[in-house]
Structure 1
Amino acid sequence: MVKKNNYIAVVLAAGQGSRMESKVAKQYMSILGRPMLYYSLKAFQDSQVDQIVLVVGKEEVDYCKEHIVDKYSFKKVKSVVVGGKERYLSVNNALQAIKESTEDIQSGENCYILIHDAARPLITQKIIEDTIEGVTCNNAVVVAVPTKDTIKIADETGGIDYTPKRSLTYIIQTPQAFELELLMKSYEEVMKDSNLEITDDAMIVEHGSKHRIQIVEGSYKNIKVTTPEDIKIAEMLIGM
């Protein structure tokens, strides 16, 4: 019997986006007439992922179910989970929900998690496909693009410590994808250390395991919408 691979997308939409200077959380702001969150969910809905776990703020669960998931018929969204105070806690909440539902995954099947920021509405099918191919082969991958600028590493005084070789530096994007068991075991280890500053999902695996993470080539168009100017850029790129 051939083993079946299961792919689950976790879409993070629980942030407030204070730099957007808006009373509306940025993931619900309009881009070409649709909420920003729509574009990430649509990309995964149309992809080969088996299901989507959507992570939102506590007060937004019912709104998202009615006005986004149901309205746009995102059938692959199997659960809407309340996020945590920090990004990695939101992912952990999603993992717990996935763990509770993994009885649907038969013994011997492989399960992979693709974690994506709703603030990156320009994710493409190619990026998703390349991420799935990468994580299936390596169990841990991040989407990234080569850095165009020279990077300087500073010390705590603001002075330049050293300059890494530019050809070895990358701008990390999402999705970031991991084999489920590897990610969950890494979380168990990281949760024991409250002093870690976790800024992306790869850091969980970096600190919680010895597994080597590989890079999957992303796109410079896969921008993170952070400021009002980014909305205009996103609209231009989506409309191209």
Structure 2
Amino acid sequence: MYKGHYVSVVIAAAGMSNRMGSKINKQFISINNKPILAHTIEKFERCRYVDEMIVVAKEDEINYCRKEIVKRFKFNKVSKIVRGGKERQDSVYNGILALDEKTDIVLSHDGARPFVKIKNIVDGIEGAIEYGACVIGTPVKDTIKVVGDSDNITNTPKRDFIWAAQTPQCFKKEIIMEGYRKAINDNFMGTDDSSLVERLGIEVKMIMGSYENIKITTPEDLIIAESILKNKGTIFRRKEFVFQSR
């Protein structure tokens, strides 16, 4: 518990992994003899200010996740594994509905972001307490172009104002709940949790994250993950576990 606040994390791990081209969910691909999802959960397990985690998984992977991730690696803070929805937004909402009633600070995080720094988790918790809503992110390095229907460039926004949003995205519980309720009522599908809160007219603070906090989505991202682990002095090993529904 952080200064009297009960902090819960929703780990979104119910994606389809279409861009990975793998036979299994990307979260279960192993790097350095540990599934990506286990690397991710471990960061929040090690953060002393996190009180509980809700993992959201595909329905037919819940038992596998419980046995091969939570029990195998002895993650004590994972209180529930719940069924995901059709879209990520649906999945995170299922996770929010399963939170402990004591929760007042909610973090949402991608299961495929295993390199989040504990410092950024703490910064996010503090940001949610201070501002009500915040997002971890980094300034973009490339020039961004806005392209129209004919693939012609229509605008070049000033790079100083463009950031790449990451996770965790962090909120006071009542704020993110209100964002989700309005999105459901309006049949609105956002690109991330922050966009639901922004629609309420609530300011969301951007907090500096890390360029290492990548989301592993494609085979190329695994190569980047290999480089990150090597830079940390870790031997990289990749293995695809054969998934069997249990």
Q: Give the TM-score normalised by structure 2.
A: 0.89
Are 2:175 and 1:174 equivalent residues in the alignment?
no
What is the Cα-based RMSD across aligned positions, in Å? 1.5
Is the partner of 2:168 in helix, strand or coil?
strand
In 2: Cα distance, 1:154 partner to 1:113 partner: 35
- Are residue 200 (structure 1) and residue 201 (structure 2) matched? no
Output the CA distance in 2 between the equivalents of 1:197 and 1:180: 19
AA of the residue aligned to 1:233: I
SS in 2 for 1:74: coil
Letter in 2 for 1:215: M
Note the 1:1-240 alignment, pairs <5 A.
Answer: 4-47=4-47, 48-98=49-99, 101-102=100-101, 105=102, 111-194=104-187, 196-207=188-199, 209-239=200-230, 240=232
Consecutive unaligned residues of structure 1, counting only runs of 5 or more, are: none
- 1:57-113 Cα offsets, whole Å, 9 max, x none, are 000111111111011110000010100000100011111111xx30xx2xxxx7111
Q: What letter is aligned with 1:220?
A: Y
Residue identity matched to 1:123: V
Give 3-state SS (helix, strand or coil) of 2:186's partner. coil
What amino acid maps onto 1:149 in structure 2?
Answer: D
Quote how far apart the aligned CAs of 1:156 are. 3.1
Q: Tell me, yes or no, if the aligned pair for 2:43 and 2:116 is still in contact at 8 Å.
A: yes
2:133–2:204: 8 Å Cα contact kept in structure 1?
A: yes
Same amino acid, percent of matched pairs? 39
Q: Distance in 1 between matches of 2:191 and 2:165?
A: 11
Q: How big is the shift at 1:155?
A: 2.6
TM-score (norm 1): 0.91
Q: Deviations over 1:150-203 (max 9, x none)?
A: 111223332222111110000111111111011111111111122x34111111
**What residue number does 2:240 align with?**
none
With CA pairs under 8 Å and 6+ residues apart, which has the higher RCO, 1 or 2?
2
- Name the CA distance, whole Å, in 1 between partners of 2:72 and 2:111: 17
Mapped partners of 1:64, 1:217: distance in 2: 31
Alignment gaps of 5+ in structure 2: 233-246
